[in-house]
Structure 1
Amino acid sequence: MIFIANKTYEVVVDHKNGWKPDAFKERFSEVLERYDYIVGDWGYNQLRMRGFFKDSHPKATKESMIATFQDYLNEYCNFGCAYFIIEKVPSKHQPNQQPTDDVESEEREIGVAAGLEQPEVLAQDQQEDSLPPQAPTPRQQRQHHQRKSYSNKHQNHQSNHPKPS
């Protein structure tokens, strides 16, 4: 049993000795508290963690259900990596948590907790969401023009060559 942030967890899978309690406590983020399961995987000697819901959870999306854990492991983790799965154990001392309505915000927070996104970038994204749309900056216009001209050149290049039979 693991006790952290007034929650109780139990290790249900410890693949290749992936469970390291000290590393878990060091990397744990309160963002992960809302999930029923926490998966930790090791790559390049760094622990990455992601939360999953029980399949029956009302806010669970296909990607956040524990049933899709194997897909996550295959797509996002190093082949043959050490990993662990811990499950939140309901206790009499823990109040039942209500699921939150802001799934997009949860996914952003997951990315930060897992080290996939930078918090300052998220703050900027959230700020931009509340602002009215603005005209593109000169830099954005140049980038758009460069992508467009590359696309046109690429299409012209392909059309100049006959297709093989």
Structure 2
Amino acid sequence: MKKIEINGQEYEVIENVGNCLNIDDIRDRITDYFDNYDYIFGDISYEKVRLKGFNDADNKKVNKINNIKDLDSYKKNYCSYGANTFLLKKVK
């Protein structure tokens, strides 16, 4: 797996559909808000990047809307059809 560093945090690139991950586009958007998440999911639609945090099922902060096991459902319901996406996993 490819590893990258953003704002002092190391991530594994789990998915990069359409080779859409551009670190310069997301560096300023990955703030301390994402510190409590195990994953950062991004989708690109109409040239805009949206980010969402997800957690592993064993994370005490996991809930119905941020469980990584529901990522496919999130993609289906909230992302544009055929949108380029990426998934980063925090290296602890």
TM over 0.5, shorter chain: yes
Task: Give the AA of the match of 1:54.
Answer: D
**Which position in structure 1 is the counterpart of 2:36?**
34
SS where residue 16 of structure 1 aligns? helix
Distance 2:28 2:8 in 1: 16
SS where residue 26 of structure 1 aligns? coil
Residues 45, 79 of structure 1: alpha-carbon distance in 2 compared, 3 angstrom cutoff: same
Q: Does the 8 Å CA contact 2:39/2:89 hold for their aligned counterparts?
A: yes
Q: Does the 8 Å CA contact 2:6/2:23 hold for their aligned counterparts?
A: no
Distance 1:9 1:68 in 2: 20
Q: Which has the larger Rg? A: 1
TM-score relative to the length of structure 1? 0.52
SS where residue 80 of structure 2 aligns? coil
Corresponding residue to 2:4 among 2, 15, 19: 2
Task: Give the AA of the match of 2:31.
Answer: S
Distance 1:8 1:54 in 2: 17
Write out aligned runs for 1:75-90 (5 A): 75-90=77-92
Runs of 4+ deviating beyond 4 Å: none
SS where residue 61 of structure 1 aligns? coil
Distance 2:61 2:30 in 1: 22
Q: 5+ residue gaps in structure 1?
A: 91-165
Q: 5+ residue gaps in structure 2?
A: none
More helix by share: 1
Shift of 1:6: 2.7
Q: Does the 8 Å CA contact 1:39/1:86 hold for their aligned counterparts?
A: yes
Report the identity percentage.
Answer: 31
SS where residue 19 of structure 2 aligns? coil
TM-score relative to the length of structure 2? 0.89
More strand by share: 2
CA RMSD for the aligned pairs? 1.2
Aligned length: 90
**Which position in structure 2 is the counterpart of 1:15?**
17
